[in-house]
Each structure stands twice: as C-alpha cells, then as structure tokens.
Amino acid sequence: MATRLDNVVVDAADPLALAGFWSAALGVPITYQDENEVDVGLPGFDLCFVPVSDPKVEQNRVHLDLASQSAEDQVAIVDRVLGLGARHADVGQGPDVPWVVLADPEGNEFCVLEARDEYRGIGPVAAVVVAAHDSLAMARFWSEATGRPLSRSGSNWASLAADAGAWLEFIDSPATKSAKNRVHLDVRPRPDDDQAADVARLLSAGASPADVGQGDTPWTVLADPEGNEFCVLRPAGSSIRTGD
C-alpha cells in the first residue's frame, strides 16, 4: 500500500479567477474546470481551487515557493506576478532574506526564491512548504503519506524529494493553527490499492479523523499529527470532487 501527493487544494472566493492568476503566474494551463473545482496542472501534482465563503483569517500554514534560475530571472518573476495582481507581503521575514514574499490576489502567501542549485530545472514550483512545530517528525509522517523519501534535513527544516516536480518541505514555525487550513494537501492511493486500508495505515502512522463539514463524500478527511487537514482520495481518476 502507498499513497502519493495528488493535489494542493486552495480555498477560494473566486476559484476561476484565482486559478487564472496562478496559471499565468506559473506558465501552465488550466486543465479541468467545473462549478466545484478548477485545476492548474503542474509536474507531480495539480493546484486545485475550490469555492468557499469563509474569509482568510490567518497566515497560511502551507505555501508555494517558486523557483528562479538566476538573479535576473527572480526579478522578472516578481515583476510578472505583481503585474498579474500579486502584492508584497510581510510575514516577519525581515529585510535581508534572499527570497521575495508575495501574496496572490486572495491573500495567499508565496515566495519567489533566489536561484538554488537543488531546484534547477525543476519547473516553476520549487517546493510546497508546510509550517511545523517539529519539522523532522512531520516530514517522517508525510514520507509515509506520500511515499517520498526524507532527502535532507537541518536543525529546523526537513525535505522530501520527488522523482519529478516540487519538493515537499517542512519548516519550523512557532505559529499556532486556529482555523481550518485554507491550503491543504490531497493524497491518492495507487490504482490497485484500497482507500480504506490506506486510511487505516495513515491513522496508525499518527493521523486522526477530521470533520470540516464535508458530509458524505468519496474522499476521507484526516488531520496530520499537527492538525493540518488533508484528504485521502479514491484510487482512480483525477477529479477531487467526484473521486471518479
């Protein structure tokens, strides 16, 4: 049994408009659209935008880091996304960090990184980053959830690499979670696996059942050991809303 990262899901007041921003920002197409979901395809996972009425109330615990290939490329990316509707954001990063912190048109924070060797040729998204109280413990849980190996770690961070596409990274943060995450991860079993068995495996690994008002759905909502909601989808198909 194994699950893999399938989607990064973003709550949105206007899913189509926000997907349009990210499609243009990343230079990748919108690949699926209905009244419940708009997807932007990326190497290794989809960005899925879903409608919600709740406002954003706190800094997101999950965000994207965008890759750049040079100092000039970083400036060009920042200029381009600002022109598309992003804005500068202050998350306490200070004036001397080499990356640029921005927010998309609905306030979701993201970073444009300076050029880094480990991300060269990776595509537009370098990493999906999760704030953690214990980055190494969280990386070990998510290694079990995604099948990705623990590739590297430091005193306050840990990273899971993928065969293709963005890294999954965990960075220590003292911030506490006080509301349902506005950005969450979906994992999907392999086609020959059993969804219920994978749910049981993840519960044994430290997940817990979660209720976000989902009702009767084809996916199962869990929370990781630090309370971050995520979904276990059905084994087959591409639509997170139908599970088909």
Least confident of 52-56, 114-118, 163-167, 205-209: 163-167
Residue 202 lies in a domain: yes
Please report whether residue 31 resides in a domain: yes
**Is residue 242 situated within a structural domain?**
no
Dig out the tokens for 17 from the structure. 């408009």
Q: Give me the number of domains the chain comprises.
A: 1
* Domain range for 89: 3-232
pLDDT for 164: 78
- Lay out the sheet containing 45-51: strands in order across: 30-34, 37-42, 45-51, 3-12, 183-189, 229-232, 220-223, 208-209
In a domain, 135, yes or no: yes
State residue 238's pLDDT score: 41
- What is residue 213's predicted lDDT score, i.e. its pLDDT? 84
pLDDT of residue 243: 45
Question: Is the predicted pLDDT of residue 145 greater than 60, yes or no?
Answer: yes
Q: Which residues pair with 185 in a beta bridge?
A: 8, 230
Residue 37 located in a structural domain: yes
Q: Is residue 18 part of a domain?
A: yes
Q: How far is 170 from 134, CA to CA, in rounded Å?
A: 8
Q: What whole-number percentage of the chain has pLDDT above 90? A: 83
> Can you point out the beta strands (E) in 29-165?
30-34, 37-42, 45-51, 62-66, 87-88, 100-103, 109-112, 125-132, 150-153, 157-160
Q: What tokens appear for 173 in the block?
A: 């943060």
Mean pLDDT along residues 154-167: 91
The single residue listed with the structure tokens 């040729």 is 121
**Residue 24 within a domain:** yes
- The mean predicted confidence, pLDDT, of the chain is 93
pLDDT at residue 193, rounded to an integer:
87
Vertex 27 angle, CA 51 and 131, to 5°: 55
Closest to 55 in 3D by CA, of 93, 13, 24, 22: 13
Tens digits of residue pLDDT in 56-111 = 999 999 999 999 999 999 999 999 999 999 999 999 998 899 999 999 999 999 99
* Residue pLDDT, tens place only, 167-189: 999 999 998 899 999 999 999 99
CA gyration radius, the chain: 17
pLDDT of residue 192: 83
What CATH number did the domain enclosing 70 receive?
Answer: 3.10.180.10
pLDDT tens digits along 35-54: 999 999 999 999 999 999 99
Distances, alpha carbon 89 to alpha carbons 19, 45, 131, 200, in Å: 20, 26, 17, 40
User: How do beta strands 150-153 and 220-223 pair?
Assistant: unpaired
pLDDT computed for residue 217 by the predictor: 87
